[in-house]
Amino acid sequence: MSSTSDWPASLPGPSARTFTFPYPVSPQAVGGIHPVQPHRAIHRYEVPAFDRPGRKVAAEYEPDPDELRTRCQQQGGKESAVNWVSDLFVDEVTVDPLLRPLTMPEVHTMSLRLPGFKPAQGYDGFLERVNKRFECGLCPDERRMHWKNKKDAVPHLRKFHFGLADRCIDW
């Protein structure tokens, strides 16, 4: 409808400068006026965190807890999580201590050190509660992994920090 001859007679005709709609229209529908959204910084917890299988290289297995502690410290882990390595793994680094229930003295000392949640299993010593999420204490600050549920941290810890990941031999 470019000219007035194509325009229906029942509607008011277009003028050279303005155009009026026969019904109420919001400015956003016209396309000329957009509301200004206030600038909002994206928090790192708004972006989903997950370890895509096969994308990252797994950590090398280190059976000695003292060597593993040194390696985690060099990679930028938090001091409380790094110290928990030698407390949790006594003789050798295995999956069993990671998943075992904690004793009452361990729960009490960890509760004082890690406020925000009640530790129950061995892997809880490597986690920290921040903004209703659980963060990995062994990851460096700038690339710290986080989860909504603390049990989701176990595969991350096994693969990327302790070298205890299950290897798929079928593929």
Answer with the residue of higher pLDDT: 114 or 57: 57
Mean pLDDT of 23-40: 56
Q: Is 128 helix (H, G, I), strand (E, B) or coil?
A: strand
* Non-local CB neighbours of 143 within 8 Å, separated by 6+ positions: none
5 versus 64: the higher-pLDDT residue is: 64
Helix, strand, coil percentages, rounded to 5, for the chain: 35, 5, 55
The stretch 98-110 carries a mean pLDDT of: 88
Residue 31, both tokens? 């396309």
User: Can you spell out the DSSP letters for 3-28?
Assistant: SGGGS-TTSPPP-SS----SS---HH
Q: What is the largest CA-CA distance in the chain?
A: 92
Distance CA 69, CA 73 (A): 6
Look over the chain and give the mean of its residue pLDDT values, rounded to a whole number: 77
d(CA 59, CA 79): 20
Q: What pLDDT is recorded for position 157?
A: 92
What's the pLDDT score for residue 57? Answer: 78
